[in-house]
Amino acid sequence: MFEITPEIAMAVLEGATLENFTDEGAAALAVGLAALATGYAQRGIGSAAVGAMAEDDSTFGKGLILTVLPETLVILALVVVFLVG
How many angstroms separate the most distant Cα atoms in the chain? 55
Structure pTM? 0.65
Residue type, 28: A
If one compares 65 and 1, the residue with the highest pLDDT of the two is 65
Measuring CA to CA, which residue among 78, 18, 56, 53 is closest to residue 4?
18
Measuring CA to CA, which residue among 31, 15, 19 is closest to residue 83?
31
Q: Is the pLDDT of residue 58 over 90?
A: yes
Q: Is the pLDDT of residue 1 over 80?
A: no
No. of H helices and E strands in the chain? 4, 0
The answer to whether the beta carbons of residues 71 and 38 sit under 8 Å apart is yes
CA gap 85, 69 in Å, rounded: 25
